[in-house]
Structures are given as structure tokens and as C-alpha cells.
Amino acid sequence: MKASSEGPKGYRRIIPSLTALVEFEAVARLGSFTLAAHELGVTQAAVSRQVKALEESLGVQLFQRLYRSIKLTGEGETLYAAVADAMQRIAGAFDRLSSGIAEGELVLATTAAFSQFRVLPKLSALRQEHPEIKLRLTTQMFTADLRLNDVDLAVRYGNGKWRDGTSILLFDEEVFPVCSPEWREANSGLGSLADLAEAALIEYDPTSEGWLGWDGWFRAAGLRPPKLNYALRCSLYTDAVQAAVHGQGVALGWRRLLHDHLASGKLVRLTDTSVKVNESYFVVVPHGKELTAKVLTLIEWLRDGAF
């Protein structure tokens, strides 16, 4: 029987242009027609035309065009939430099919520091306690948009307010100076913050974590030294910790991350001064991902032992 050309035509009947939706999502996510055009490899005028056609098709305004910026309207927020969720699901399916991710495998995104100091040392326990959980670790140097990555959950440090997922608190943090026992013994004369400012400090780049560096730590502790004595600067926090373990100076110790190092005596606190930071560690579950029993178990496992 020949299909009738009359009547409903599937999704095309109510979604006139998938291209327009893709370009709308990029504009909404990046907050800029120019940046969206650059990402998509088209002209800004082409993006503007697609979004304008989408607005005319819907009969609503999706963006407020301000002097030097744009802002989603209420209708735009509604559409963006739906489109971003759908694109996350589609991208996830493509990624799983093309990368060969095993069925039932949980993909956990963390920074290198969190993975090395809190996840990897406990993996054997995870396998013994929860053999049903198969884990795939992906390390992120910067906070990647979860809508564009096939991730089941991500660990982030911040205020818990991210647009690409639901945040669940893991634990708070505090920061204090740490060094090797040998270094502390050889430099026993450090009696004040001013003395510490002149000691051999190991600095690291904060990258996307938004972590305190030495300058910010001293200010939070109540001292504004004119100049700090950096003995070594590292791009990665993991390298800074290793340098401290090997006696190269004093690093900033994040208590939740370095619990095992402090408990084993590889590192020791140099002073009693500690700064409690305003932000915390969160697990972020991308919009469109389900809080399954396995995901909830993994979250509790990540939180467990947060001394």
C-alpha cells in the first residue's frame, strides 16, 4: 500500500529545522552569535538568520538582544533546556557507538588530582565491595560542557551551580601548608606566617579548579606579604605534591585530597594555620542521565572516607 502524503509527517511537522535548533543551542550555550558561528564554522549572519527563522516559526522571542550581549527569554530557557537535553542524549549515543564503551560501564570525569589522590588508591576496595560497577575514568584539565561529552557523572570543585547537570555535594575543603617530614626537620625555625612567606614555596596553576594559590592563601590567612619566595612552579597540582614529598619545599595541602599522604606520613602539616574555602567538591550528573542505583552507589563511594 502506498503511504498517504496527507496527515502528520512525524517530527518534521513540528520541528521545521534541525539546523536551526543546533545553531540556537550553540548561541544559548555560548551566549554569543559570534562565538556560535565560530564553533559551527559558519557566518554570524547565517546563525542570526536561522535563529530568527526559528523565532518566527514558534511565534516567540528566544533572545533579548541587549547592547553588547544577549540573554535567553523565558521561552528561550524552556527551549534550550529541551534541546540541550536531547542533544546530550544523541551525542552520548554516537560517542558510545563510535568509541566502544561497554554496556553498563560508568564513565566518571575528574581532574588528574582528584583521580590520583582519591579515586585510584581506592579502586581495589570498589571492585571488592561493588563488583557490579565497571568504571571508566576520563581526566579533564578544564571544566568541559557535559552536554557535549558522554559522561555519567563528573567531579567538580566550585559553588555547585552549573547549567549542564544536577549537582550533589560530596564534601567541603580546607587548605594548609604541607611538606615532607625531612624538610620540616631541616627548617624548624619557621614560627610565623611571615617566616613561611620567605620559605621555599611550591606553586601550581589553578587551571579550571579555581583553587587557591599561595598569594590567595596568605591573604585569606590574614597576611599580605610583599613578595613570595617560589622555589618551584608547576602546571599540575599532582607535580607540586610530588615535589613536596621529595623535599623540594612547601606546597598547599588540600585536606580531602591528601588524606592518605598525611595519614601515611609522606607529608606533614607545617603550621596550624588553615583556610576553609567557600567552595566544595560536587558530583555533577548531566541532564538527561538517570540517577540509577549504580550511579548512587558510586557517589556514596566517592563521598565515603572524606575525613
**Residues 6 or more apart whose Cβ sits within 8 Å of residue 269:** 176, 177, 178, 253, 262
Q: What is the mean pLDDT of each run of 10 residues along the chain (307 residues)?
A: 45 71 89 90 92 90 87 89 75 59 74 90 89 85 62 89 88 95 90 89 76 90 86 91 96 94 95 91 87 90 72
Label the pairing between strands 105-110 and 134-139: parallel
CATH level 2 (architecture), domain 10-97: Orthogonal Bundle (1.10)
pLDDT at 232: 94
Query: Which superfamily, per CATH, for 174-276?
Result: Periplasmic binding protein-like II (3.40.190.10)
pTM of the model: 0.64
pLDDT at 249: 96
297 by Cβ neighbours in 10 Å (0-12 / 13-18 / 19+) ranks as middle
203 by DSSP, 3-state: which?
strand
Say if 102-170+280-301 and 174-276 have the same CATH topology.
yes
CA atoms within 13 A on the CB side of 116: 13
Distance CA 143, CA 148 (A): 12
Contacts of 139 (CB under 8 A, 6+ apart): 109, 110, 111, 112, 115
Q: Are 234 and 240 in contact (CB under 8 A)?
A: yes
Task: Return the domain boundaries, the chain.
Answer: 10-97, 102-170+280-301, 174-276
Residue 52's pLDDT is: 92
Q: Which CATH number is 102-170+280-301's, of 3.40.190.10, 1.10.510.10, 3.20.20.60, 3.60.130.10?
A: 3.40.190.10
pLDDT at position 283, please? 93
